[in-house]
Structure 1
Amino acid sequence: PDAFGMAGVAYDHLLKLLMVGESNVGKTSLLLRYASDVYDAKTNSTIGVDLKVKTVDHRGKRLKLTLWDTAGQEKFRTLTASYYRGANGVILVYDVTCRASFEHLTRWLKEVEVYCTNEDVVTMLVGNKIDKEDREVTKEEGLAFARSNSMLFMECSAKTKQGVEQAFEELVEKALQVQTSKRDVPGDMQINLQDGNSEE
């Protein structure tokens, strides 16, 4: 059944997508580029969590995407943990010109595994800032890490737009496949129905 989102716009599916990774890798810039098609070189570090909403038409269905931009700083870690709950997709972002941001991915991936309540969450690895020349992480390294952790992979530039739309579209496609392959009745409702049947 259709549901209604912000401004009364009907949608067929609701997907919660998260952006995680170290500070200054470009999570906010990627999100702004995808959600609003804007780029601001002076984007400040996110404080806590920011939220954007985007409605898209996909294969004849209207999707409402809630896009959560999380802070990379350690001091906001406990705050962001709760935002993993119910996520359909998580994008782990690193900066291809910053080796440390790539090497810290294992820690972020561990956090996803610990805090994500959705066992079927789709994860994607995104290498950002490919418009810059001082690359410290090769595309092959990124792809190898993604494959070894069963993640989707894309390299992007929030500045030039390259790969941004494709990355989000691929994540949405996969997350939607997972969501629609599940039964329409939520798990807790199924339990209630079973309880009701057992009493009859």
Structure 2
Amino acid sequence: MEEDFDREIKVVVLGNGGVGKTSMIRRFCKGIFTDEYKKTIGVDFLEKAQFVDALQEEVRFMLWDTAGQEEFDAITRTYYRGAGAAVIAFSTTDLDSFKAVPGWKEKIIAECGDIAMCLVQNKVDLIDQAVVSADDVEAMARQLQLKLYRTCVKENINVSEVFGYLAELHNKKLQTGQLSQQPATAAITAPPGSDAYKTAAAEAKAAPQQHQHHPAQHAPKEVREEPEEEQPRPERPREGPMTVDLKPSKVRTKGKKSLKDKLTACSVA
């Protein structure tokens, strides 16, 4: 029997190639990690249902892993549509991926508007090889008005927290009228055969058809539909920097200094 979910969110994960987007999604959805790197061709899709404490309900996340290479840009941008949240990721050891962050935000706003977003600095276990300072990262987060998470997919640090936060922010934007519920047809970008595709297709089929008739006409044979007027997007509220505490899912110190201790100098101010 298929489960019913009161809330589902399409999340796109953006960033340059090699920053760990695929690994993050696989860790969150399947609980696995591999050091092997395979370039994502176009897009990939996974989904997971998880209970979100802040909302006190179960949320189904439909996660879209997008290729970071420029040659796939025309393909991947078509999959942004209908997204309610986005992760913008960069790598601690890749300066170009950090410099590309503002451009990724511009792309998602151009396609989806001011949806729920956060900034993720991945591979913080390689902080000794960092090519960008903690101050520069925090300045970027403040400039873009995005909450910053420092993650380590390998050690499963802050991965679930990222998506829990996006679900909470998505809900706040809905409640304050900054977002509207996505139409069912927008969700039919999921791969055929997936639960998300089946749910969206069923909702679209069940949605009542609405037709407008001129009062002076009786049973017209044809009704010309006027294009809907595009509604202006609400202004993005200004938000100050926020603090994120590192919460590793497991503690395996064996008397050695933990990764969390190593990252005390990188906590968000």
Task: Please give the range of the TM-score, normalised by the shorter of the 2 chains.
Answer: 0.7 to 0.9
Query: Residue 5 of structure 2 aligns to which amino acid in structure 1?
Result: Y
Q: Tell me which structure has the larger Cα radius of gyration.
A: 2
| SS of aligned partner of 1:8 | coil
- Alpha-carbon offset, residue 9 of structure 1: 1.3
Structure 1 residues 118-145: Cα deviation after superposition (integer angstroms, max 9, x where no partner) = x340111100000012011223322221
- Alpha-carbon offset, residue 176 of structure 1: 2.3
The 5 A counterparts of 1:17-166 are 17-58=11-52, 59-116=55-112, 119-132=113-126, 133-166=128-161
Partner Cα distance (1:60, 1:109) in 2:
29
Query: Residue 85 of structure 1 aligns to which amino acid in structure 2?
Result: R
- Alpha-carbon offset, residue 165 of structure 1: 1.6
Aligned residues: 186
Tell me what 1:13 maps to. 7
Gaps of 5+ in 2: 184-208, 216-269
Pick the structure with more strand per residue.
1
Partner Cα distance (1:143, 1:165) in 2:
21
Change (3 A) 1:186 1:24: closer
Partner Cα distance (1:123, 1:93) in 2:
11
Partner Cα distance (1:67, 1:81) in 2:
14
Query: Residue 71 of structure 2 aligns to which amino acid in structure 1?
Result: K
Using the size of structure 1 for normalisation, the TM-score is: 0.83
Query: Residue 101 of structure 1 aligns to which amino acid in structure 2?
Result: S
Whether the aligned pair in 1 keeps the contact of 2:174 and 2:181 (CA below 8 Å) is: no
Query: Residue 19 of structure 2 aligns to which amino acid in structure 1?
Result: V
- Alpha-carbon offset, residue 98 of structure 1: 1.1
Whether the aligned pair in 2 keeps the contact of 1:90 and 1:122 (CA below 8 Å) is: yes
- Alpha-carbon offset, residue 17 of structure 1: 0.5
Query: Residue 75 of structure 2 aligns to which amino acid in structure 1?
Result: L
- Alpha-carbon offset, residue 147 of structure 1: 1.6
Query: Residue 141 of structure 2 aligns to which amino acid in structure 1?
Result: A
Structure 1 residues 33-63: Cα deviation after superposition (integer angstroms, max 9, x where no partner) = 1111110110311111001110112233221
| Bigger RCO (CA 8 Å, 6+ sep) | 1
Query: Residue 101 of structure 2 aligns to which amino acid in structure 1?
Result: L
Partner Cα distance (2:4, 2:157) in 1:
30
Query: Residue 163 of structure 2 aligns to which amino acid in structure 1?
Result: F
Change (3 A) 1:163 1:172: same
Partner Cα distance (2:175, 2:57) in 1:
12
Percent sequence identity over aligned pairs: 27
Tell me what 2:172 maps to. 177
